[in-house]
Amino acid sequence: MSNQNIFYPSKEVISKANIKEYENTYKRSIEDLEGFWAEIAGRVDWHRKWDKVLDNSNPPFYKWFVGARTNIVHNAIDRHLTTATRNKLAYIWEGEPGDTRVFSYHAVNREVTKMANMIKSMGIKKGDIVTIYMPQIPELIFAMLACAKIGAAHSVVYAGFSAKALADRINDAQSKLLITADGGWRRGKIVDLKKIANEAAEITPLLDEMIVVKRTGHDVEMEDERDFWYHELEKEDFVHNKCETEVMDAEDMLFILYTSGTTGKPKGVKHTHGGYQVYTSFVHYAVFDIKPEDRWWCLADPGWITGHSFIVYAPLINGATTMLYEGAPTYPQPDRVWEMIEKYQVNILYTSPTAIRGFMRFGDAWVKQHDLSSLRLLGTVGEPINPEAWLWYYHIVGGGRLPIMDTWWQTETGGFMISPLPITPLKPGSATKPLFGIDADVVDEKGETVEPNEEGILVIKKPWPGMARTILGDDERFKQIYWSDFAEQGWYKTGDSARKDEDGYFWIIARIDDVLKVSGYRLGTAEVESALVSHKDVAEAAVIGLPHKLKGNAIHAYVILMHGVQETPELEKELKSHVRKEMGPIAVPEKINFVDSLPKTRSGKIMRRVLKAQALGEDPGDLSTIED
Ligand code: WT7
């Protein structure tokens, strides 16, 4: 290969890898897409096999495994109950204060059954959407699986979101039931989830009932007839009854997950039982080389797609043992993660560039004082990883012997799309090559493939089983956001820019739409702007991302105040706390600049790239469309 800086896998890694060959299998998978996925779909059970692998009669509304009957919970739990996996650990959980709980597959089934009976008793039926707002405790996972078991869909709202954001999502999903907890532990403090859930309940007319898990034990307000303690419901006989796993259509909704887009309104991305189970479990097996004896740790929150796919569904389908940790990864000491890896002899660690940069900041000694020899593979996700962080991860955490799986994917893709396999030669900062069945390319606006090393638009040219099916209640928006730019060709637009080098390696550059990646979190500039404008003193706002050493990008806001309002440091503080209240801590701007005007096009669109170029001291480029 052309590039000098290549890291080859050891003979040992190659000899043990689940997947030993890439090029030919890839070629075959693209040439015979349906044949390939039909074969992979044989890794899971079906109550009824499909009539057709792919229905592409109404693009972009593709259907996979048409006519098949299944339930992801059957593959994640039920089928293991008659094999040796029944007695295997499914989850090893550690709370931030150091308390631990472990669950075998048998125990997971017991807990999920209880929760499923509770949910059913609240009148939830197949097709309903239950909202879940929980800390990282095992019950979060059980709640998700319980919904899926009875054929309801879940919508997990990340526990860092505000009451307003939670209420918006409850409304959009029309949820009548919320599953939550009194609180969770983060950096030694209680995050008061029940208080936020109560506030959300006040501003949503739909919510009838809440199931509340006791985690922290602090005083919370419970409303009679609406709120039920989980541990009280557990005392009822009926929750211990057997609960059948509902047999679903392959295309039935499994979950909704809200993610940020280019408009202020969050979009509920819809995934289904059939294609998603095939796709996530396969890429997990292929990329992370999952073996029965492994202990796998995906250091993400189950509340994001990473957790849905790679803490909950894929590892269970693959019969793996998964670690789950409640709190902050550097609390109470910077070596919390390394200590846990040593203590539990974890084999595979999957985390984000932001977390890696956070660990790096504390110095190598915190890592080196632990025996990390149990590790055999590393992974990263969420944003481009800078080579400096990659090399630190490789040398300091991996001791120079562990391949790093830099997995590029999105909420909308369901699972990894561009990623190395353990056998792939690595280039620091490159997600390497598309996985099997994924026809990725870098093109210009007309759809022409750009020259090697030239920047362009990252597109996916063929459908894949794990793809999002639509945006809840808004097929038009789904079409418009992802499928309209290359409608003629029928390609999926990822929203990312990338380049492909002379070896066919992909290098993800950044988002090209008005979406920011802050500490790996996805935020729409429009969401932060509308939070700012909802403050009485703000007339107009524009938000951009500027490079940040730890967070990758940091939010910078430009605000025009209402006539007569004084700009003061106090007001900047107040606006920050306003955004925190509207959206949650992840959306709070690093800096708010008060300005008199904003660069706009004649049609009134804010030119964020001009603000960005100015802030970075760069050439703002073509200004011919600017108004002022
Ligand atoms: C966006 C999707 C999918 C799990 C977490 C994020 C960026 C994700 C990588 C990577 C460079 C990456 C992209 C993508 N991204 N992984 N390995 N290298 N960029 O899911 O919140 O839906 O965000 O995250 O910009 O479009 P998400």
How many angstroms is it from 148 CA to the middle of ligand 1?
26
Structure tokens at 120: 């059913």
In the chain, DSSP finds a helix count (H) and a strand count (E) of 20, 30
Query: CB of 305 closer than 6 A to ligand 1?
Result: yes
Q: Which residue's CA is the nearest one to ligand 1's atom 1?
A: 410
Please give the Cα distance from 587 to 590 (Å, whole number): 9
Please give the Cα distance from 419 to 397 (Å, whole number): 20
How many angstroms is it from 411 CA to the middle of ligand 1?
8
Query: CB of 493 closer than 6 A to ligand 1?
Result: no
pLDDT tens-digit profile of 88-105?
999 999 999 999 999 999
How many angstroms is it from 553 CA to the middle of ligand 1?
13
Query: CB of 409 closer than 6 A to ligand 1?
Result: yes
Please give the Cα distance from 627 to 566 (Å, whole number): 27
Tell me the pLDDT of the chain averaged across its residues.
96
What average pLDDT does range 233-243 have in this prediction?
Answer: 98
Beta strands (DSSP E) in 411-567 are 440-443, 456-460, 470-471, 492-500, 506-511, 515-518, 521-524, 538-548, 552-561
Q: What is the reported pLDDT for 2?
A: 62
pLDDT of 3 > 80? The answer is no
pTM beyond 0.85, yes or no: yes
Q: How confident is the model at residue 218 (pLDDT cuts 50, 70, 90)?
A: very high
Query: CB of 259 closer than 6 A to ligand 1?
Result: yes
Q: What is the reported pLDDT for 519?
A: 93
Structure tokens at 390: 């990659």
Q: What is the reported pLDDT for 476?
A: 97
Query: CB of 381 closer than 6 A to ligand 1?
Result: yes
Q: What is the reported pLDDT for 265?
A: 78
- Mutating to test ligand 1, I would choose from 304, 385, 410 the residue with most ligand atoms within 8 A of its C-beta, which is 410
pLDDT tens-digit profile of 551-571?
999 999 999 999 999 999 999
pLDDT tens-digit profile of 378-435?
999 999 999 999 999 999 999 999 999 999 999 999 999 999 999 999 999 999 999 9
Q: What is the reported pLDDT for 209?
A: 98
Residue 59 pairs in a beta bridge with none
Q: What is the reported pLDDT for 628?
A: 60
How many angstroms is it from 355 CA to the middle of ligand 1?
14
User: How many percent of the chain have pLDDT more than 70?
Assistant: 99
Q: What is the reported pLDDT for 545?
A: 94
Taking CA atoms, 490 is separated from 114, 186, 244, 272, 493, in Å, by: 44, 45, 40, 21, 10
Taking CA atoms, 423 is separated from 169, 388, 420, 433, 495, in Å, by: 41, 22, 8, 12, 29
How many angstroms is it from 33 CA to the middle of ligand 1?
25
3-state class percentages of the chain: helix first, strand second, coil last, to nearest 5: 35, 25, 45
pLDDT of 264 > 80? The answer is no
